[in-house]
């Protein structure tokens, strides 16, 4: 039927073209998913200033339309369709945005490109998908949706996840650069963008796509485009509201009080000590501290936006509020709150000159709890004595909560700790851009853009006087409520201020040569500065030991001869400067043969005069093989082959010089301290505090990419696959140097190399089954293998990380030659010594007795020593899969998103392992005598541990693979007949996030973020919450 | 309109890209308010300030005395459990390996001291900018620098034997991995050169307490001679300290270990610590102005009322009953060196003392000379104890001199007895315990006297090794191996140095 109309229309058009100049077009615009009319859709005649909007029945009429004109029909959240105007009643159906990729434009650096002409590797996530998820942070929306992007989330409200685009090139500074509406920002800044304002996110992954960003593009680029209005669009209002409750998914199995007491008795008696708990029968289950600290927390988002435009001005206005409480301690103690106000204007000052002003004001507010260590809130909840009662029942002692008489330091009653956690961070951010575009003549456009981010933070925290329990070494309050001599409460303030800006001017020139040769070129320069400063002050003696009076002005501390800490202050400042010039030319022949070349010259203040600038070059080519005449496969609608090669850089260092530090004790990483006391009078000193490496130069990455995009089976199936490789040359690395050089920090040098390669595949399917049933599903597959190929010539340079404390300071992750960056490094636990004879015949292992772990003699020298440490795990997944499913039937829609990570190991490091701290339940299966177990995870239990069963070993490595149902949402859009008098559309939905997690990991959550050297090390990390919410989407 | 805007664009384009470019990415550390080498050592004050920091690394070595005790039968490692500060536990059990973080830090920290001294030496004649800065007292100031370099090398040679030896300049990154270990004898020769140079320029008295004096340099040189069995030189050098009459034994032995007794008449050389500039860095807890070892040796969970003087600590470096029994009856030093906490608690019921029995290797005894005391720390309390470390007391000068005279080519046992008995008379409060023996018996008496006089002061291990008694007096000691500690594995890996035999 439709086809008939089409042909008829063509025929009519043909006739009309011959007979008349203009005609009247009428039609109806429908939602393809439910065939409901779309009210307020914009219908525009392309190339002329003529448009209209559909009425309450979705109908439109345009008079005096030139024959042969093309209509462009658009509607928020829907794909833009272009159809030839035809006589007679046209019926135009719009599908959801993202279901078709044919005519889409991708935002690349300094311009846009038609998606079919792209020959670099770019992943796109559409605003509609982001809106469905309602993420707190935008990165969440990339997880599993953008192939090649690995996002490892943290559960702490508003905290930054680990984002890796195409593997791990370096040991630090792996954050991709974020570009919001053309303005470079950082990953940290993604905490302040309101997800509902995002039109689309493009992830630029290979050198061809990202090298236009030069030095900043080395770790990939996340290009965020926010919404804007359209010309001639009647004001369109969107109101969204979502309210949810978060709760913890699961708790960790630790011992109950009776089990704990029995284990303590065993540990003590095996070590030759007394029985600690003589009567086990009276102890009971005790207190589960995890149940005490996990609270329900709220999650809500509310947004209102309006957009539209006149002939000269288009606008997008938005206001949003997001509030996420934390499940550790609830909203009172852990909270992330964000308010956004955005106004984006495009103003055509003249027909050639356009002014664009994007302004966002963000208020960030939060409070948090100590995280991710054995003595954090969660660490304390896991490790604290379960025999202690929740309430304090000791007469004549202050304090609401019970305390241990055995754990006297480091680990505290988590409720007391929570109660005494007071902090508040407030921040305001202003970001945006002012941009002028001048169209000199057709195809030549000049742009000058000033983008900025201004952030002011204000943090306050209060350390009260606390009575932790009798004899606790950290008591600052006596049992009777008086102050311990020499201890003080204190308040700390810090104000930070940053201003970053980028000024870029460039010219775009698009032209055709001999009709079929199409060129798109851009050249320009970019000047960037990052600057900031911070000042802080602390003061003791806060009145009434209370948060209410925790302020510098209210506190009364005054420095004196015995206490120079009563009032303190500090200040510091920093900056960075860059200057770059760039040039790019894209070429296509009939949209069939594609080529692109990018040249960028970057200058950084961080390098010495010889190496200030570096050139980066990249190129790509594509072939739309499906456009060739010989290409006959009818089931293939489009097939494009792509390849790219190029270099990008990294300047992640500070300038080097032989600096002289003066003053006193240093708190820096190597504590290269100064000064001395003569007769108890402090004399400041001076010493060499930094060293320079004059040969320092840019780190360069060589990237290659090969891939294809295919649309199959009447555009129902989309398949994209890429293979990539990245090699880092001259990796900025802190070399290992002779210890006899002393303690001056060793300067960074270009001594490393890494190699990463992998595959990524996206498979999409969308179809309409019957009249009303729509399916749209996408799966992504991402894999990368990473290898450090060089450090020092002799491979001795190592970067250690993943530090934790279990009675000793331990380091579990290493960045070194020949290994995956950040792999787990320790002893291989291979069994349990069953008897003395086994120990005698095994490689010499100092201190071992029967029941202790037997470690592998990796180097075969007959002694178990430090040289036997080896790879015991890898925190990064072998591959990840994301699967997004959208179904709709009439007004009902269902969205489900599942994410799987396979092969990532977790190092369980939350156990403090003190004599009287609580333990993981696994200890119940411990070795108790010959033949009881040979599982190296379960050695004997004793207070003394001469064998060091607690050393870094495979004992603590677990498979952290997981499948998470990250998001499931069921919505219902009310029939337009019911609501049309008030709303143009009304949708209600229920949503559950993190509903199901399937994993073998014994801890809270196998997803543990923290940069290259801390990812996968679980020190009691903040788990992600399960959220149930309901919401409302209204369009007016 | 077009005509107006276009020139602006093009103008902006050209001017910025052509003119401001180069300047924009230039950098001068002054923009960050950083002082660099080029700006420094330009005045007398700079030279004096920088010399102060040559002293600093001595404070970082505060855990070395713990090893000097724990590596003998005089003290047990203690701590919370068998893996609490594994570095010390292994040394106690003589199972230590080249992987030992405290030994690694002691190595690196002493070399930082040497590099700081070398930097001063490097720019003695002209500063980094090529100018010479002369001032009155410059030579005497350099006497301190050379003493300190000698002290750091002496620390290294006592612990590790042969070590890399360099004196010309502070090493830079390009000198990494270029050195080999020099024979112990060469290191000692350098120490002697530095001390001799220092003695010739240092004043006998310094106004500031804790500044190196001529006598400190002579006493250290005497010790260095003794370690090389150069008894004639030792006797002569030490005799000049005694003859100067600048020091005396304090009558109340215990008083010199109190805060009030610091830098007293018996103090020849003390490493100064203070709680005046509170420090907080758990990554490297020993590198503030405080004495971290003090925190380590305290009784755990110690509590009592305001009158009780002690503060709590972590129960490391616990004196053994063997040491307690080494004191003769009537020796007043026993109750100064050793705190028997249960006895003390019972003797002072008014203090209301509670404490936690040492959880590992408990002996019931604690190092009282350096025990944490209330009111002697600040800020992060564990890291800021002000207790000075007494490196050389006059008693040491006397006993070293006694030993040197006894072991000289032409022994002078009368003098040896005289010096020994000075120390004993103070210890017992009478002359009834004087030693009258001569020869080898006298020598053994002097050695035994060192054990009790310097109990828990970190001297014992080095004395036993020096005098060849280690194998017979230390459980687990292997001759030919344990005289020195292993070169840190990290340094071996990086710098490709040889290892001490047996490790």
Q: Which tens digits make up the pLDDT trace of A457-490?
A: 999 999 999 999 988 878 899 999 999 887 899 9
Q: In this structure, is residue B272 part of a structural domain?
A: no
Mean pLDDT of A786-795: 82
* A961 contact B CB<8A: no
Task: Please indicate, yes or no, if residue B271 is contained in any of the structural domains.
Answer: no
pLDDT of A188: 85
Position A388 scores a pLDDT of: 95
CA distance B193 to chain A (A): 21
Q: Which residue of A has its CA nearest to B13?
A: A505
CB contact under 8 A, A808 and B83: yes
Q: Which tens digit of pLDDT belongs to each residue from A803-839?
A: 999 888 889 999 888 899 899 999 999 999 999 999 9
Residues on chain A touching B177 (C-beta within 8 angstroms): 737-738
Which residues, in sequence order, are CB contacts of B336 under 8 Å at separation 6+?
Answer: B253, B254, B257, B368, B369
Nearest residue of chain A to residue B112 (CA atoms): A742
Classify residue B346 by its DSSP letter. H
What is the pLDDT, as a whole number, of residue A76? 66
Å between A945 CA and nearest CA of chain B: 5
The pLDDT score that the predictor gives to residue A375 is: 87
| B480 and B356 within one domain | no
Q: Which of A507, A739, A943 lies nearest to residue B107, judging by beta carbons?
A: A739
Asked if B60 has any chain A CB less than 8 Å from its own CB, the reply is: yes
| Greatest mean pLDDT range, A128-142, A154-168, A966-980, B424-438 | B424-438
- Strand A22-31 vs strand A89-94: parallel, antiparallel, or unpaired? parallel
A486 CB within 8 Å of a chain B CB = yes
Q: Looking at the complex, does the CB of residue B45 fall below 8 Å from at least one CB of chain A? A: no
Q: Number of residue pairs across A and B with CB atoms under 8 Å? A: 294
Domain co-membership, B370 together with B475? no
- What confidence score (pLDDT) does residue A470 get? 85
CB A582 within 8 A of CB A524: yes
Chain B hits for A658, Cβ within 8 Å: 36-37
The pLDDT value given to residue A42: 82
In this prediction, residue B466 carries a pLDDT of: 96
Rounded distance, CA B373 to CA B275, Å?
Answer: 12
CA A499 – CA A452 distance, rounded (Å) = 7
Q: Residue A659 is nearest to which of B5, B35, B108, comparing CB atoms? A: B35
Cβ–Cβ of A527/B35 closer than 8 Å?
Answer: no
A123-150 tens-digit pLDDT: 888 888 888 888 888 888 888 888 888 8
Among B115, B261, B494, B502, the strongest candidate for a mutation testing the A interface, having the largest count of A CBs within 10 A, is B494
Q: What pLDDT was estimated at residue A318?
A: 95
On whether both B123 and B5 belong to a single domain, the answer is yes
**Neighbouring residues of A23: CB distance < 8 A, sequence distance ≥ 6:** A16, A64, A65, A67, A85, A87
For residues B338 and B195, membership in a common domain is answered with no
Element (H, E) at B425: helix B413-428
> Is residue A454 pLDDT above 90, yes or no?
yes
Q: Sort A985 into a burial class: Cβ within 10 Å, 0-12 / 13-18 / 19+.
A: buried
The structural domain count of chain B equals 2
- B167 reaches A (C-beta below 8 A): no
Residues A41-52: pLDDT tens digits?
Answer: 888 887 777 788
Instruction: Answer whether B472 touches A (CB < 8 Å).
Output: no
From the CA of A605, how many Å to the nearest CA of chain B? Answer: 4
The domain spanning residue B493 has which CATH number? 1.25.40.890
Same domain, B67 and B160: yes
Please give the pLDDT value at position A16: 41
Tell me the chain B residues in contact with residue A525 when contact means C-beta distances shorter than 8 Å.
Answer: 16-17
Q: Is residue B441 part of a domain?
A: no
Gap from B351 CA to chain A (nearest CA, Å): 15
Which pLDDT value is given to residue A1036? 84
For A661, the closest chain B residue by CA position comes to B35
Residues B31 and B147 in one domain: yes
Indicate if the pLDDT at residue A17 is higher than 60: no
Q: Mean of the pLDDT values across residues A432-439?
A: 94
Using the Cβ of B287 and the Cβ atoms of chain A, whether some distance falls under 8 Å is answered with yes
A800 DSSP β-pair partners: A814
Reference B94, options B442, B431, B486; nearest CA is B486
Chain B nearest CA to A713, separation (Å) = 49
Above pLDDT 90, what percent of chain A?
A: 56
* Mean pLDDT (chain A, rounded): 88
To test the contact with chain A by mutation, choose from B43, B81, B311, B357 the residue with the greatest count of A C-beta atoms within 10 A, namely B81
Write down which residue in B387, B422, B448 finishes a domain.
B387
- Strand A870-873 versus strand A70-74 pairing type: unpaired
Q: Where are the beta strands (DSSP E) in B225-375?
A: 267-271, 316-319, 338-340, 365-367
Dihedral (CA of B77, B81, B87, B90) sign? positive
Residues in chain A within 8 Å Cβ distance of B55: 676, 685
Say if residue B340 is in the same domain as residue B194. Answer: no
Q: If pLDDT is split at 50, 70 and 90, which confidence band does A14 have?
A: very low
Contact A676 B59 (CB under 8 A): yes
Question: Across residues A87-98, what is the average pLDDT?
Answer: 69
Which of A:582-601 have CB within 8 Å of B?
Answer: none
Residues 99-158 of chain B whose Cβ lies under 8 A from any Cβ of chain A: 99, 104, 107-109, 111-112, 114-116, 119
Q: What is the pLDDT of residues A552-563, one digit of tens each?
A: 999 999 998 777
Final residue in a domain of this structure, among B344, B367, B387: B387
Task: State if pTM tops 0.90.
Answer: no
pLDDT reported for residue B9:
60
- Contact A745/B at CB under 8 A: no
Nearest CA-CA distance, residue A995 and chain B, Å = 40
Residue contact A679–B95, C-beta within 8 A? no
**Chain B closest CA to A336's CA: distance in Å?**
30
Checking A837-845 for CB contacts under 8 A at 24+ apart, the result is A845/A947
Q: What is the pLDDT of residues A277-325, one digit of tens each?
A: 999 999 999 999 999 999 999 999 999 999 999 989 999 999 999 999 9
Residues B494 and A739 sit within 8 Å (Cβ to Cβ): yes
Q: Smallest Cβ distance to A687: which of B53, B84, B111?
A: B53
**Is beta strand A177-180 parallel, antiparallel or unpaired with respect to A221-226?**
parallel
Looking at the structure, do residues B27 and B121 belong to the same domain, yes or no? yes
Both tokens of A79, joined, read 């794909």
pLDDT band at residue A33, thresholds of 50, 70 and 90? Answer: low
Q: Does residue B224 form part of some domain?
A: no
For the cut 50, the answer to whether the pLDDT of residue A207 exceeds it is: yes
Q: Is the model's pLDDT at A979 over the cut of 80?
A: no
Is the pLDDT at A583 greater than 50? The verdict is yes
B15 to chain A, any CB pair closer than 8 A? The answer is no
* A181-190, A855-864, B200-209: segment of lowest average pLDDT: A181-190
Q: Are residues B27 and B146 in the same domain?
A: yes
Mean pLDDT (whole number) for A671-694: 91
B367 in a structural domain: yes
Q: Which residues of A touch B14 (CB under 8 A)?
A: none
Q: Which residues of chain B have a pLDDT value below 50? A: 1-3
What is the distance between the terminal CA atoms of chain A, rounded to a whole angstrom? 33
Kindly list the strands in the beta sheet with A22-31, ordered across the sheet, starting from the edge strand earlier in the chain. A59-66, A22-31, A89-94
Cβ separation of A693 and B173 shorter than 8 Å? yes
- A652 pLDDT band (50/70/90 cuts)? confident
Q: Render pLDDT for A612-634 as a digit per residue (tens, 0 to 9).
A: 888 889 999 999 999 999 988 88
- Both tokens of residue B358? 């040492």
**Residue A96 has what pLDDT?**
57
Residues B339 and B476 in one domain: no
pLDDT at residue B7, rounded to an integer: 56
Q: Are residues B380 and B501 in the same domain?
A: no
Instruction: Tell me the shortest Cα–Cα distance from A902 to chain B, in angstroms.
Output: 35
Examine residue B242 and state whether it is found in any structural domain, yes or no. no
**Using CB atoms and an 8 Å cut-off, which of residues 643-672 of chain A contact chain B?**
655, 657-662, 664-667, 669-672
* Contact at CB, A677 and B494, closer than 8 angstroms: no
| Greater model confidence, B201 or A177 | B201
Q: State yes or no: pLDDT of A6 exceeds 60.
A: no
Please enumerate in sequence order all residues whose Cβ is within 8 A of that of A246, keeping only pairs 6 or more positions apart, or say none.
A296, A297, A298, A299, A324, A325, A327, A1025, A1026, A1027
A563-574: b (≥16 Cβ within 10 Å) or e = bbbbbbeeeeee
B429–chain A nearest CA distance, Å: 30
pLDDT at B18: 53
Which residue of B56, B170, B172 is in closest CB contact with A674? B56
Q: How far apart are CA A120 and CA A107, in angstroms?
A: 12
Shortest CA distance from B128: residue in chain A = A658
Give the whole-angstrom CA distance, residue B339 versus residue B350: 17
Q: Do B31 and A575 touch (CB under 8 A)?
A: yes
pLDDT value at A21 more than 90: no
ipTM entry: 0.94
Q: Does A944 touch chain B (CB under 8 A)?
A: yes
Is residue B259 included in any domain, yes or no? no
Decide if pLDDT at A232 tops 70.
Answer: yes
Same domain, B496 and B350: no
Q: What is the residue range of B126's domain?
A: 1-202+471-503
Q: Note the pLDDT of residue A828.
A: 96
The verdict on a CB contact (< 8 Å) between B274 and A680 is yes
CA distance A592 to A553: 71
Task: State which of B352, B368, B387 marks the end of a domain.
Answer: B387
Confidence of residue A15 (pLDDT cuts 50, 70, 90): very low
**CA distance, residue B326 to nearest chain A CA (Å):** 28
Q: What is the mean pLDDT of residues A904-926?
A: 93
pLDDT at B115: 97
Q: Does B309 map to a domain?
A: yes
Q: Strand A236-248 and strand A297-309: pairing?
A: antiparallel
Distance from B369 to chain A by nearest Cα, in Å?
A: 19
């Amino acid at each position: 039927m439709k086809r008939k109309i089409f042909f008829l229309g063509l025929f009519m058009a043909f006739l009309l073209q011959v007979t008349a100049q203009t005609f009247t077009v009428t039609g109806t615009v429908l939602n393809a998913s439910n065939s409901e009319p779309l009210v307020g859709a914009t219908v525009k005649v392309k190339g002329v200033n003529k448009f209209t909007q559909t009425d309450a029945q979705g109908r439109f009429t345009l008079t005096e339309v030139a024959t042969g004109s093309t209509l462009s029909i658009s509607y928020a959240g829907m794909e833009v369709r272009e159809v030839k105007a035809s006589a007679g009643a046209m019926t135009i159906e719009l599908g959801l945005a993202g279901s078709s990729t044919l005519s889409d434009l991708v935002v690349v650096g300094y311009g846009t490109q038609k998606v079919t002409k792209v020959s670099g590797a770019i992943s796109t996530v559409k605003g509609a998908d982001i809106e469905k998820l309602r993420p707190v942070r935008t990165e969440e929306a990339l997880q599993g949706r953008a192939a090649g992007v690995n996002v490892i989330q943290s559960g702490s409200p508003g905290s930054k996840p680990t984002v890796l685009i195409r593997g791990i090139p370096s040991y630090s500074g792996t954050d991709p650069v974020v570009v919001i509406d053309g303005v470079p920002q950082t990953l940290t800044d993604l905490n302040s963008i309101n997800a509902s304002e995002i039109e689309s996110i493009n992830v630029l992954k290979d050198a061809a796509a990202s090298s236009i960003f030069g030095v900043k593009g080395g770790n990939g680029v996340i290009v965020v485009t926010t919404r804007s209005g359209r010309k001639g669009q009647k004001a369109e209002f969107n109101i969204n509201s979502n309210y949810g409750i978060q709760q913890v998914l699961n708790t960790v199995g630790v011992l109950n009080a009776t089990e704990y007491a029995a284990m303590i008795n065993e540990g003590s008696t095996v070590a030759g000590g007394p029985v600690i708990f003589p009567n086990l029968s009276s102890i009971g289950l005790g207190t589960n501290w995890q149940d005490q600290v996990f609270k329900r927390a709220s999650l809500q988002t509310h947004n209102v936006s309006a957009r539209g435009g006149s002939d000269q001005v288009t606008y997008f206005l938005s206001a949003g509020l997001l509030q996420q409480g934390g499940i550790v301690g609830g909203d009172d103690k852990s909270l992330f709150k964000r308010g956004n106000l955005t106004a984006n204007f495009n103003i055509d000052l003249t027909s050639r000159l356009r002014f664009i002003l994007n302004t966002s004001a963000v208020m960030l507010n939060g409070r948090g709890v100590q995280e991710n260590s054995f003595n954090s809130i969660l660490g304390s909840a896991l490790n604290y004595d379960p025999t202690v009662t929740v309430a304090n029942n000791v007469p004549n002692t202050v304090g609401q909560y019970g305390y241990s008489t055995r754990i006297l330091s480091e680990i505290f009653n988590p409720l007391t700790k929570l109660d005494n956690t007071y902090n508040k961070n407030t921040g305001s951010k202003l970001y945006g851009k002012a941009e002028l575009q001048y169209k000199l003549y057709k195809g030549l456009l000049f742009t000058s853009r000033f983008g900025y981010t201004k952030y002011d933070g204000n943090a306050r925290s209060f350390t009260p006087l606390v009575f932790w329990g009798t004899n606790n070494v950290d008591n600052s309050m006596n049992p009777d409520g008086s102050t311990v001599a020499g201890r003080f409460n204190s308040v700390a303030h810090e104000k930070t201020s940053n201003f970053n800006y980028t000024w870029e001017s460039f010219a775009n020139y698009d032209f055709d040569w001999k009709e079929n040769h199409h060129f798109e070129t851009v050249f320009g320069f970019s000047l960037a500065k990052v600057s900031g400063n911070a000042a802080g002050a602390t003061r003791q003696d806060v009145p009434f030991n209370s948060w209410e009076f925790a302020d510098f002005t209210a506190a009364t501390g005054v420095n004196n001869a015995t206490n120079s800490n009563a009032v303190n202050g500090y200040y510091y400042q920093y900056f960075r400067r860059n200057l770059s010039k760039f040039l790019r030319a894209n070429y296509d022949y009939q949209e069939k043969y594609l080529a692109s070349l990018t040249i960028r010259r970057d200058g950084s203040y961080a390098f010495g005069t010889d190496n200030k600038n570096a050139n980066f070059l990249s190129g790509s080519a594509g072939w739309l093989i499906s456009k060739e005449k010989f290409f006959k496969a009818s089931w293939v609608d489009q097939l494009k082959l792509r390849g790219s090669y190029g270099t990008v850089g990294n300047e992640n260092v500070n300038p080097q010089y032989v600096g002289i530090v003066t003053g006193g004790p240093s708190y820096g990483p190597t504590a290269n301290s100064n000064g001395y006391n003569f007769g108890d009078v402090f004399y400041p000193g001076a010493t060499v505090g930094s060293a320079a490496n004059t040969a320092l130069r840019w780190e360069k990455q060589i990237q290659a990419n090969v891939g294809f995009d295919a649309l199959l089976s009447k555009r129902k199936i989309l398949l994209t696959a890429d293979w990539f490789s990245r090699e880092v040359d001259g990796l900025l690395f802190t070399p290992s140097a002779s210890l006899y050089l002393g303690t001056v920090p060793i300067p960074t040098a270009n001594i490393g190399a890494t190699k990463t390669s992998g595959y990524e595949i996206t498979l999409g399917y969308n179809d309409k089954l019957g009249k009303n049933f729509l399916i749209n599903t996408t799966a992504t597959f991402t894999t990368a293998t990473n290898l450090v190929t060089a450090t020092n010539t002799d491979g001795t340079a190592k970067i250690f990380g993943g530090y934790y404390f279990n009675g000793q300071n331990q380091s579990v992750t290493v960045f070194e030659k020949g290994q995956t960056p950040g792999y787990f490094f320790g002893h291989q636990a291979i069994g349990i010594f069953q008897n003395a004879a086994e120990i005698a015949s095994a490689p010499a292992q100092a201190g071992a007795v029967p029941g202790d772990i037997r470690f592998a003699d990796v180097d075969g020298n007959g002694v178990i020593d430090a040289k036997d440490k080896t790879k015991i795990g890898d925190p990064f997944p072998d591959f990840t899969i994301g699967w997004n499913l959208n179904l709709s039937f009439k007004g009902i829609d269902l969205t489900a998103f599942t994410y799987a990570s396979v092969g990532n190991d977790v190092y369980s490091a939350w156990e403090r392992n003190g004599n009287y701290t609580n333990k993981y339940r696994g200890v119940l299966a411990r070795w108790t005598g010959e033949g009881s177990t040979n599982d190296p995870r379960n050695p004997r239990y004793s207070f003394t541990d001469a064998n060091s069963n607690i050393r870094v070993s495979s004992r603590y490595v677990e498979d952290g693979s997981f499948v998470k149902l990250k998001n499931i949402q069921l919505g219902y859009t009310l029939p337009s007949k019911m609501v049309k008098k008030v709303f143009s559309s009304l949708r209600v939905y229920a949503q559950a996030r993190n509903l199901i997690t399937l994993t073998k990991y014994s801890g809270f959550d196998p997803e543990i973020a923290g940069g290259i050297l801390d990812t996968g090390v679980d020190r009691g990390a903040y788990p992600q919450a399960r959220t149930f919410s309901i919401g409302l989407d209204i369009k007016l | 309109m077009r005509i107006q805007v276009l020139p602006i664009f093009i103008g902006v384009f050209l001017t910025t890209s052509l003119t401001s470019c180069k300047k924009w990415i230039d950098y001068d550390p002054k923009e960050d308010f950083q002082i660099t080498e080029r700006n420094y050592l330009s005045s007398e004050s700079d030279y004096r300030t920088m010399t102060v920091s040559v002293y600093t690394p001595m404070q970082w070595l505060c855990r070395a005395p713990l090893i000097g005790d724990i590596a003998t039968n005089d003290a047990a490692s203690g701590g919370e459990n068998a893996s609490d500060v594994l570095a010390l536990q292994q040394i106690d059990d003589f199972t230590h390996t080249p992987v030992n973080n405290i030994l690694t830090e002691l190595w690196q920290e002493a070399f930082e001291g040497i590099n700081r001294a070398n930097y001063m030496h490097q720019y003695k004649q002209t500063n980094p900018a090529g100018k010479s800065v002369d001032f009155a007292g410059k030579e005497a100031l350099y006497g301190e620098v050379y003493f300190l370099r000698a002290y750091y090398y002496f620390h290294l040679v006592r612990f590790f034997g042969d070590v890399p030896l360099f004196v010309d300049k502070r090493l830079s990154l390009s000198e990494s991995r270029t050195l080999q270990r020099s024979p112990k004898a060469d290191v000692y020769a350098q120490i002697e050169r530095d001390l001799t140079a220092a003695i010739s320029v240092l004043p006998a008295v310094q106004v500031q307490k804790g500044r190196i004096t001529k006598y400190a340099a002579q006493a250290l040189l005497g010790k260095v001679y003794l370690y090389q069995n150069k008894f004639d030189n030792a006797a002569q050098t030490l005799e000049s300290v005694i003859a100067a009459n600048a020091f005396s034994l304090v009558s109340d032995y215990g008083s010199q270990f109190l805060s009030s007794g610091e830098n007293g008449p018996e103090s020849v050389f003390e490493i100064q610590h203070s709680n005046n500039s509170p420090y907080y860095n758990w990554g490297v807890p020993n590198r503030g102005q405080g004495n971290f070892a003090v925190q380590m040796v305290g009784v755990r969970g110690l509590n009592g009322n305001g009158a009780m003087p002690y503060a709590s600590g972590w129960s490391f470096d616990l004196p053994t009953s063997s040491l307690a029994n080494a004191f003769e009856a009537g020796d007043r030093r026993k109750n100064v060196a050793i705190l028997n906490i249960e006895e003390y608690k019972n003797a002072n019921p008014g203090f209301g003392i509670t404490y936690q029995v040492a959880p590992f290797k408990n002996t019931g005894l604690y190092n009282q000379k350096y025990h944490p005391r209330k009111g002697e720390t600040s800020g992060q309390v564990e890291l800021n104890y002000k207790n000075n470390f007494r490196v050389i007391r006059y008693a040491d000068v006397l006993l070293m001199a006694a030993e040197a005279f006894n072991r000289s080519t032409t022994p002078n046992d009368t003098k040896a007895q005289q010096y020994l008995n000075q120390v004993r008379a103070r210890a017992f409060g009478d002359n009834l315990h004087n030693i009258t023996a001569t020869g080898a018996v006298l020598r053994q008496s002097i050695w035994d006297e060192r054990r009790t006089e310097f109990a828990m002061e970190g001297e014992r291990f080095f004395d036993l090794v020096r005098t060849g008694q280690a194998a017979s007096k230390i459980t687990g000691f292997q001759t030919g191996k344990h005289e020195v500690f292993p070169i840190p594995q990290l340094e071996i890996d990086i710098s490709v140095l040889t290892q001490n035999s047996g490790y």
